[in-house]
Amino acid sequence: MSVRRLLASISFSFALLGVVSGQTVLPALPVEKSPAPPTPARVAAVAASPVQPQITFNSVHVDGPYIALTFDDGPHATLTPKLLDLLAAHHMKATFFVVGQNAADHPDILRRALREGHEIANHSWSHPNLGKMSDEAVRRELQKTDDAIAAAIGKRPTLLRPPYGSITAHQKRWIHDEFGYRIIIWDVDPLDWKRPGPSVVTSRILKETHAGSIVLSHDIHPPTIEAMPAIFDQLDRKGFKSVTVTELLAMATPLPPKPTATPRASPVPVAAPASSIYAPPVITTTPGG
């Protein structure tokens, strides 16, 4: 018997043995390889990915008693100059979010505000709800106001406050990319536009303001201007220092890490005597009463 026939006979015998024993001989599977470890170049590329800058601010964490007083909807022909007088007397700085139509009518007031160290920012041309408008309509509102401010004071604003605080995430991104604006909201709102009276406006601002606050008011309502002397006096006594919004943003510091709480063992519950178990009373009044 030749060698070739002998090998064929042996292979056939093994195959027959596998069938007889009920086992199927399978071909060997390829061994799965582990993924290659990341190279230094890949690690560096991930680490170098850009971090998106913060666009919207309601308040700022600062190390110090600094706040930003902001006034919307002006300038007003008579009330804004009175406010500027009060700010000068108290050595306070403010940021004016101006409506473009009013800025175009009173450029001299904007020039005075800038000359005295205050900041001028964009509050749209006609005070619409930007969040409900098309991109092109929003662009026209912002550009006209931007142009009016630049014509009055020779420089363009870097901040935007959307009327009513209404703005979409999509609008924030393209407005920041196109105009370079940071979006400024607030964390203290005395609701002075409802004209609750000077004492109420004063009480609300003093109660809610803390270091890093962005305080909202309007320099087009007489009661608001009447409230400012008392507000400024009390803020002075509390040690607050008012700066422009851009100055406040520049002072921002990271929030300190929260301390890790040490878990405590839960006390073993003790059953109360039957006589001390509280049974709630039956409520018979209707909801909303």
d(CA 15, CA 32): 28
Give me the number of domains the chain comprises.
Answer: 1
At 256, is the pLDDT very low, low, confident or very high (cuts 50, 70, 90)? Answer: confident
Residue of 118, 218, 219, 221 with catalytic role: 218
Closest C-alpha among 243, 244, 251, 248 to residue 121: 244
Q: Look at residue 21 and tell me if it is in a domain.
A: no
Say whether 40 sits in a helix, a strand or coil.
helix
* pLDDT tens-digit map of 65-74: 999 999 999 9
**Which pLDDT score is estimated for 163?**
98
Average pLDDT of the chain, as a whole number:
83
Q: Is 135 a catalytic residue?
A: no
Q: Look at residue 94 and tell me if it is in a domain.
A: yes
Tell me the two tokens of residue 151. 């014509």
Q: Look at residue 225 and tell me if it is in a domain.
A: yes
The string of DSSP codes covering 183-217 is EE--SB---GGG---HHHHHHHHHHH--TTBEEEE
What domain range includes position 143? 56-250
Q: Look at residue 185 and tell me if it is in a domain.
A: yes
Residue of 72, 73, 146, 219 with catalytic role: 72
Q: Look at residue 288 and tell me if it is in a domain.
A: no
Q: Look at residue 63 and tell me if it is in a domain.
A: yes
Examine the pLDDT at 213 and tell me if it is beyond 80: yes
Q: Look at residue 262 and tell me if it is in a domain.
A: no
d(CA 183, CA 54): 9
Tell me the two tokens of residue 46. 């991930």
d(CA 226, CA 199): 9
* pLDDT tens-digit map of 271-288: 544 433 333 333 333 344
Integer distance in angstroms from the first to the last C-alpha of the chain? 109
| Greater model confidence, 7 or 254 | 254
Examine the pLDDT at 127 and tell me if it is beyond 70: yes
At 259, is the pLDDT very low, low, confident or very high (cuts 50, 70, 90)? Answer: confident
Examine the pLDDT at 45 and tell me if it is beyond 90: no
Q: Look at residue 105 and tell me if it is in a domain.
A: yes
At 263, is the pLDDT very low, low, confident or very high (cuts 50, 70, 90)? Answer: low
* pLDDT tens-digit map of 58-97: 999 999 999 999 999 999 999 999 999 999 999 999 999 9
- Tell me, what CATH number does 97's domain have? 3.20.20.370
Q: Is 72 a catalytic residue?
A: yes
